[in-house]
Amino acid sequence: MPFYVHFNALCDLRNPALYKYPFMRLVMTPPLEIENLLPYALQVCVIDKTVGRKWISGLARGGVAAVHAVQPGHLVLLTMRIPDAGFDQCDGTIIETSDEDEYPVDDTITVADRQGIRLALKLHRMDISSSGGRCRRVSIYAPYVMVNRSGLKLFYSSKGFFKGVSAVAGQDLQRNAPLEAESAPVPASGSDTDARPVMFSFGSYDLKNRALVRVADSEWSRPLSFDALGSAAEVIIPAADRLTDTHLGIQIEPGRGRYSHTRVVTFTSRYVVKNMTGVALQYRTVYNTSTAAVIGDGERQALHTLHRSRRRLLTVACAHRDGSGAMQPDVRNGQWSAPFSIDDVGRAYVRMPVSRADALDSGRGEML
């Protein structure tokens, strides 16, 4: 296979010595570069249709591959696979052309997952530095990347202005289990419990495009807009029984550096309970009279599910120790504190009726 390198001569035309001595620099660049700005590794195939030549290679996340098998000005196609994200099908797209009128260059590339759901990824073209405008770098990126740091299994869907609700590509629906507990441990950043990023695109740009999210078999949330960069808000997901809601936080930020074309949408826990009292506690909402959650000293737990009400009130008590010494919740016999609102940001003091052995009479709560 031929190996092509583009040469470009750089010189200062204002220097009079240029016409007496060869004052110039020869810069060698590849005819084409492919940059992966996706959160997954790629398998790339570049086809030069003018001469019938093919180039296949793997491309790591954030990597740049130099393609020396094509020539500038030829009709060049790009196709790819994302096996780690479940995208094994791809529609070829034109990234270089010899005739703009007959074969225009595309700015999107469409892939499909194993269920046939399609995802439109974006292509950004720019000239390679010092190539004289003859060589190009093509960057592949996703318009949106959704990151789930709530510890729950989330489903996503999109809703356009002229079309109904459609599923988001790249979701493994078999791995999403029903929500079983009111509280769950808070996953640490970068831990194995973090969900993998989900690439997302509306397909076409419209200010009325919206996204929806749900947990297991719950109802869909209200339509969400991903266009408000730098915003942080609360997402309320109603349960199927209409008695409880799941509360999450959402933050929308632009990518950093060369990832600035991608908007990162992060879902986190809206409420987190942290025990710094020195003893094990149990807590529950005032509307939940059947179960409670036990939290040890120094532990953190995410509080996801709350009963639907105007005020979100929490009450705490010392955890009950059973015959084996393990801490167990005891809703009926627990000496519960007065309810306090978890929406009132600031510091509040909570008095708990306890026995003398526990050596704790009042505690301080901080809502951040």
Share of the chain above pLDDT 90, in %: 41
Are the C-beta atoms of residues 182 and 292 closer than 8 Å to each other? no
Split at pLDDT 50, 70, 90, the class of 235 is very high
Residue 202, pLDDT above cutoff 70: yes
User: For residue 54, what pLDDT is reported?
Assistant: 92
* Beta sheet of 154-159, edge-to-edge order: 165-167, 154-159, 210-215
User: For residue 176, what pLDDT is reported?
Assistant: 42
User: For residue 181, what pLDDT is reported?
Assistant: 38
Phi, psi of 83 (to 5 degrees): -65, -35
DSSP 189: T
Mean pLDDT to the nearest integer, 249-254: 94
Retrieve residue 231's tokens.
């915003």
User: For residue 173, what pLDDT is reported?
Assistant: 47
User: For residue 292, what pLDDT is reported?
Assistant: 87
Residue 112, pLDDT above cutoff 50: yes
Residue 185, pLDDT above cutoff 60: no
Q: What is the three-class DSSP state of 26?
A: strand
Mean pLDDT to the nearest integer, 115-128: 92
Instruction: Please give the full DSSP string across 14-70, using - where no structure is assigned.
Output: T-GGGGTS---EEEEE-SEEEEE-SSS-EEEEEEETTTTEEEEEEE-TT-EEEE-SS
Q: Using CA atoms, how far apart are residues 187 and 148, in angstroms rounded to an integer?
A: 10
Q: Using CA atoms, how far apart are residues 313 and 186, in angstroms rounded to an integer?
A: 21
Are the C-beta atoms of residues 110 and 121 closer than 8 Å to each other? yes
- The residues facing 249 across adjacent strands are 234, 268
CA angle 207, 117, 230 (to 5 degrees): 35
Name every residue whose Cβ is closer than 8 Å to that of residue 4 and which is 6 or more positions away in sequence: 30, 31, 68, 69, 70, 71
Split at pLDDT 50, 70, 90, the class of 35 is very high
Residue 39, pLDDT above cutoff 70: yes
Mean pLDDT to the nearest integer, 97-108: 88
Residue 29, pLDDT above cutoff 70: yes
Q: Using CA atoms, how far apart are residues 203 and 209, in angstroms rounded to an integer?
A: 10
Least confident of 43-52, 201-210, 240-249, 279-288: 201-210
pLDDT tens-digit series, residues 123-153: 999 999 888 888 999 999 999 999 999 989 9
pLDDT tens-digit series, residues 315-363: 888 887 776 767 777 777 778 888 888 888 888 888 877 655 554 555 5
DSSP 351: E
Average pLDDT, the chain: 84
